[in-house]
Every structure is written in C-alpha cells, then in structure tokens.
Amino acid sequence: MPLVFQSERFFREAWPQISQSVESGTDAASDVQWIAGATGLETGARVLDAPCGFGRHSVEFARRDCETTGVDFSETELGRARRAAGEAGVSLALVCQDIRDMEFSSEFDLAVNLFSSIGYFSEDEDRLVLDRFWRALRPGGAFVVDTRNRDQCVRSLPPEERMRRGNSTIRVENEFDPTTSRWRARWWRLKRASAKSEDASQELIGESEIRLYSAHELLHMLRPERWRKVELFGGLDGTPFSLDTHRLVVVARK
C-alpha cells in the first residue's frame, strides 16, 4: 500500500476550524481523572500526549503536576494549547511534529493517544506510530489509546451525527467502507436555521478518512508480547468493552 495520509488536508485546514466545537474541555478533565486512576499516575510523572490538539488533556495532566509534553503538527492547535496552559497557570512542553517522526526514548511514565487519533495513515505507518509510543515509555510506563470501536461502527454507524456547541452545529455525514474498514466523514457547518434552501443552510468544512481498528487488530498491531499487561475498556470511564461500546480503549503497561 502506498504511504498515504488521506486526512492530512482535513487536519491541517478544516479541523482547527471546528476542533473546539467538537472536543470538550469538561470531558478532558474527567478523561484524565479516569486515566490517572487506571494507570496509577503519580505527581511529577512525565506524560506524552500525542497528538495533543489544543491541549485539553495536556493542561489537565499539567494541573496534576505532571511534566507534560504535547505533540501535534498543527501550529494553530499548539498556539491554543500554549494559551490554555497560560490561562491555567501551568507549563507544557509543546512540540510541532508529525507523530510518525517522534523519536522519544524511555522518557515517559505515561503516553496517551486520545479521541480517535490513530488510523490516519497506512496500516504500516499506524503500526510505526504505535512503536514510537512503546519506545517513548520507560519500562513500567503505561500507554492509553482511545479510539472509535470499529465493530460497533460496522453494526450501527449512524449515517449522520450532529454536534451542537454554543451557537454552532456541526453535521457529520458518515460512511463506513467495509472493504477497507475506513470511516469517511464529510463535515458540514450548519448556518442559522433562518436560511431558506438546503444548500444555503450548510457549508462543507472538509472530509476525513480514518482507518478504524477492531480490538483484535489494534491489539495485534501493539504486539502484545512486548507489554506486561494489556486491558480493554469501552470508554475513558472504565465501561467494560463490548461490541456495543462506542469507544475502544486500550491500557497497556510496558
């Protein structure tokens, strides 16, 4: 398979326009609380959040006095993360880098890859990214991946999803390609309800394409033999994993 990154344009151009409408800071605080408990995170721990987006989880880790490094390739999102850290009175190390190029080595106690941030590349490159996380951790360190549950999507991916935050509504048209397990989404911004025609009422923001992995595929890619312990959950709240959970969360201990 050629080395493709189908969603690069989406993440560089479209995502920064909507990320703060789609991703919630409140969820980030509870996500981090659960991750801290599930991994036994200690004060002063070194945490890698990649990709970190606008830093919603990084800031929460830093609030817990963790030495936190956020990696993302979007200067726009990193700028927001820098501002959020300043407002929270915490410090973050922010690195503008493609996650495929991360070269950390045994430096972190915890590494996280959150909110469907795997599956952007070819399968070989996704595996390489997971290797990068393994390498970044010290022995005994923990890795948390949180992504969409492919098997739940196969059975019941809604053709359309809507997210309403403040004054804006984002409409997502979903399509699951069973021949590649790639989820294609067209992201629309709905304009004010007063707009008359269907065309006039929405604006296409961008299109994304993400490989969704089943639990067994993701576990296989992680190479379970090199982790001391690997657990599955159905969300960043400890829900047991099943075919019906929207999320697939892996907690692995090196």
Binds ligand SAM by CB under 6 A, chosen from 61, 104, 108, 120 = 120
CA distance 149 to 157: 10
Q: Which is nearer to ligand SAM, 114 or 137 (CB)?
A: 114
Give the x-and-dash track for 79-118 against ligand SAM (CB under 6 A). Answer: -------------------xx--------------xxxx-
Binds ligand SAM by CB under 6 A, chosen from 32, 35, 36, 56 = 56
Q: Which is nearer to ligand SAM, 55 or 194 (CB)?
A: 55
Q: Which is nearer to ligand SAM, 116 or 201 (CB)?
A: 116
Write the DSSP assignment of 35-68 as a string of letters. HHHHHT--TT-EEEESS-TTSHHHHHHHHTT-EE
CA distance 153 to 195: 32
Binds ligand SAM by CB under 6 A, chosen from 51, 119, 206, 234 = 51
CA distance 100 to 120: 10
Q: Please state the closest distance from residue 57 (CB atom) to ligand SAM, in A.
A: 6
**Residue 36: how many CA atoms within 13 Å on its side-chain side?**
20
Binds ligand SAM by CB under 6 A, chosen from 24, 25, 34, 73 = 73
Sheet holding 67-72, edge to edge: 92-96, 67-72, 46-49, 108-113, 137-148, 247-253, 229-233
Q: Is 187 in the site for ligand SAM (CB under 6 A)?
A: no
Q: For ligand SAM, which stretch binds (CB under 6 A), given 51-59, 136-144, 193-201, 236-244?
A: 51-59
Q: Is 126 in the site for ligand SAM (CB under 6 A)?
A: no
Name, in order, each residue with C-beta under 8 angstroms of 188's C-beta and a sequence gap of 6 or more: 170, 171, 172, 173, 202, 203, 204, 205
Question: Residue 186: beta bridge partners?
Answer: 173, 207
Under the rule (CB under 6 A), what is the footprint of ligand SAM?
A: 11, 15, 23, 51-53, 56-57, 72-74, 77, 98-99, 114-117, 120
